[in-house]
Structure 1
Amino acid sequence: MRLTTKGRFAVTAMIDLALNAQNGAVKLSAISERQHISLSYLEQLFSKLRRAELVESLRGPGGGYILASPAAEINIAQIIAAAEDSLDATQCNSRADCRKGSPCLTHDLWANLNKTIHNYLSSVTLQHIIDHKNNHPGHDKIIEFNQTHIH
């Protein structure tokens, strides 16, 4: 299993959007410049994020993107699911047919890892990350989450 650049960049861009959306719509070119992510790559990602109804696009002067829901209602698992094709540690895409129609010896291990990762990422919202950043400016320590709180 691996989290690809798509998922990482989508999360980074959504955090940037959430941090900068207080003043209205955010242009992808501004996110691109701040986060050093190619504009064309962001356009592809935001197309997926828009289809997943995580962001809305606003046209015209002052246009750009805004969050489709409050930051407290958007979790990291949703963002990754919108950007990634799959985030799965099993070799069978969780179908349990690893060995010619039956599960392999380690299927349950990897399936449980999938559940653990999904539960963790579902418990972390954009608001958690924003709050942590605001309370610890310039602090790059790994953020630890306990279901709904940052430590």
Structure 2
Amino acid sequence: MKVSSKGEYALRALLVLGQQQGQVMTIQEISDKTLVTINYLEQILLQLKKLDFVKSKRGARGGYFLHKEAQQINIGEVIRKLEGPLSPMSCASITKYEPCPLEAGCQLKPLWSLVRDTISYVLDRTTLEDLLLNKIHLLEGDELVVFKK
């Protein structure tokens, strides 16, 4: 799994909007805080709007704002909708599985499946609110540990 600049910048934009929850922010304000160009940010925000994470308001005091509360925005969902499957290899993907020629005796598939499951576990248990509060959910053995920076 590789998170592209689009995924990274989308999360930055959501964080900025989450810091100003309930307030409309102009694209210029979001650009200034995320260090993403306005042109690229427009594309990302339109996609986030289409995916129902943000809403926009037209007019002189227009801009963008979160459509949901920060605790309702799941980071795993955001990444999957923007980037696709979380699996590092298609042979270990649940939603975009593609067999590999060596699959019958492949000794790497269990590793890729564990990587996929670990990434999914962390991202699916992390909300935008967690990120705003610097809380990251880690798996320690079979225990969920909340790491606060």
TM band (smaller chain): 0.7 to 0.9
Q: For residues 11 and 39 of structure 1, do their structure 2 counterparts lie closer, same or farther at Cα, with a shift above 3 Å needed?
A: same
Q: 1:36 is matched with which residue?
A: 35
Q: Which has the higher strand share?
A: 2
CA distance in structure 1 between the aligned counterparts of 2:83 and 2:2, rounded to whole angstroms? 10
Runs of 4+ residues deviating >4 angstroms: 100-103, 146-150
Q: 2:88 is matched with which residue?
A: 89
Residue aligned with 1:65, SS: strand
* Residue pair 1:26, 1:66 contacting (<8 A) in 2 also: yes
CA distance in structure 2 between the aligned counterparts of 1:83 and 1:91, rounded to whole angstroms? 17
Deviation at 1:91, TM superposition (A): 4.0
Deviation at 1:102, TM superposition (A): 5.5
CA distance in structure 2 between the aligned counterparts of 1:47 and 1:32, rounded to whole angstroms? 14
TM-score by length of 1: 0.79
Q: 1:63 is matched with which residue?
A: 62
Farther-moved stretch of structure 1 (93-102 vs 25-34): 93-102
Please give the residue correspondences for 1:2-151 in structure 2 after superposition, counting only pairs within 5 Å.
Answer: 2-22=2-22, 24-92=23-91, 94=93, 95-99=97-101, 104-132=106-134, 144-146=136-138, 149-151=146-148
Q: Percent identity?
A: 28
Deviation at 1:21, TM superposition (A): 3.3
Deviation at 1:90, TM superposition (A): 0.8
Deviation at 1:105, TM superposition (A): 2.9
Q: For residue 19 of structure 2, what is the amino acid of its counterpart?
A: L
- Structure 1: gaps (5+ residues): 133-142
CA distance in structure 2 between the aligned counterparts of 1:93 and 1:41, rounded to whole angstroms? 32
